[in-house]
């Protein structure tokens, strides 16, 4: 049986950042099927529901028995609440792989950067490098993730 990252190798910017977290850009139906066959359990989509999509991902995930969650990351939703919703889904996936994606991987990098720092103890420089591996290319998304991680880290230290 392939691993989750092997199942998603055709996805743009496919990256395995943690044993149970695979990230990337837009998957195809075949990618989702391969992810399910590799033991995947949850698909977390960070795109706005109004964005054009090449497939009805929600229907495909339901047909395949995958949990499908949408937490839109847009200019208007770059809030602490959005990050907390994303991290709750990732933490809640347990041992079953979760596939976190957007159109290209950029939003994924910004959103998971604080998760890497706060939940997994990566230093800022290492977390940023991982976010770039995931596809992060936006300074706004970078600052969103870093600002959250810095504030939460300071709050924990007080």
* CATH classification of the domain holding 93: 3.90.190.10
**Per-residue pLDDT, 27:** 96
| Mean pLDDT rounded to a whole number for the chain | 94
Domain that holds residue 40: 4-157
Predicted local confidence at residue 157, as pLDDT:
55
Burial track 70-98 (b if 16+ CB lie within 10 A, e otherwise): ebbbeeeebeeebbebbbebbeebeeebb
The whole-model pTM stands at 0.94
What is the per-residue pLDDT across 11-40, written as a single tens digit (0 to 9) for each?
999 999 999 999 999 999 999 999 999 999
The residue length of the chain stands at: 158
Reported as a pLDDT band with limits 50, 70 and 90, residue 54 is confident
Across the range 125-148, mean pLDDT stands at 96
Please name the residues in contact with 70: beta carbons below 8 A apart, sequence gap of 6 or more: 44, 45, 46, 47, 49, 58
Question: What is the number of structural domains in the chain?
Answer: 1
- Residues 15 and 116 sit within 8 Å (Cβ to Cβ): no
């Amino acid at each position: 049986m392939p691993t989750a990252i092997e199942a998603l190798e055709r996805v743009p910017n496919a990256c395995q950042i943690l044993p149970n977290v695979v990230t990337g850009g837009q998957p195809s139906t075949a990618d989702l099927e391969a992810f399910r066959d590799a033991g995947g359990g949850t698909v977390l989509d960070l795109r706005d529901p109004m964005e054009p999509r090449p497939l009805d991902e929600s229907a495909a995930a339901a047909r395949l028995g995958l949990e499908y969650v949408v937490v839109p990351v847009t200019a208007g939703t770059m809030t602490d609440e959005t990050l907390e919703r994303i991290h709750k889904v990732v933490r809640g996936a347990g041992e079953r792989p979760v596939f976190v994606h957007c159109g290209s991987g950029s939003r994924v990098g910004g959103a998971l950067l604080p998760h890497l720092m706060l939940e997994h103890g990566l230093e800022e420089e290492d977390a940023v490098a991982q976010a770039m591996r995931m596809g992060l290319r936006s300074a706004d998304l970078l600052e969103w993730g870093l600002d959250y991680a810095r504030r939460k880290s300071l709050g924990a230290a007080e």
